[in-house]
Amino acid sequence: MWRLGVGDKPKPKRHKMKAKRKRYEPEFKARVSIEALKGVKTIQQIAKEYKIHPMQVSEWKKIMLQGAPEAFGPGRGKTAVAEDFEKERKRLQAKVGELTLDLDWLREKSKQLGL
Same-domain pairing of 69 and 83: no
Same-domain pairing of 88 and 64: no
Task: Read off the pLDDT of residues 90-99 as tens digits, 9 standing for 90 and up.
Answer: 999 999 999 9
Same-domain pairing of 29 and 44: yes
Band of residue 29 on the pLDDT scale cut at 50, 70, 90 = very high
Same-domain pairing of 36 and 57: yes
Q: Is 92 inside a domain boundary? A: yes
Task: Read off the pLDDT of residues 32-59 as tens digits, 9 standing for 90 and up.
Answer: 999 999 999 999 999 999 999 999 999 9
Q: Is 65 inside a domain boundary? A: yes
* pTM, to two decimals: 0.51
Same-domain pairing of 57 and 28: yes
Burial classification of residue 76, based on how many CB atoms lie within 10 Å of its CB (0-12 exposed, 13-18 middle, 19 or more buried): exposed
Q: What is the dihedral of CA 38, 40, 44, 49, to 10 degrees?
A: -90
- 113 is in which domain, residue-wise? 78-115
Same-domain pairing of 70 and 104: no
Same-domain pairing of 28 and 70: yes
Alpha-carbon span 100 to 94, nearest angstrom = 10
Alpha-helical (H) ranges within 4-53 are 26-38, 43-50
Round the average pLDDT of the chain to a whole number and report it.
86
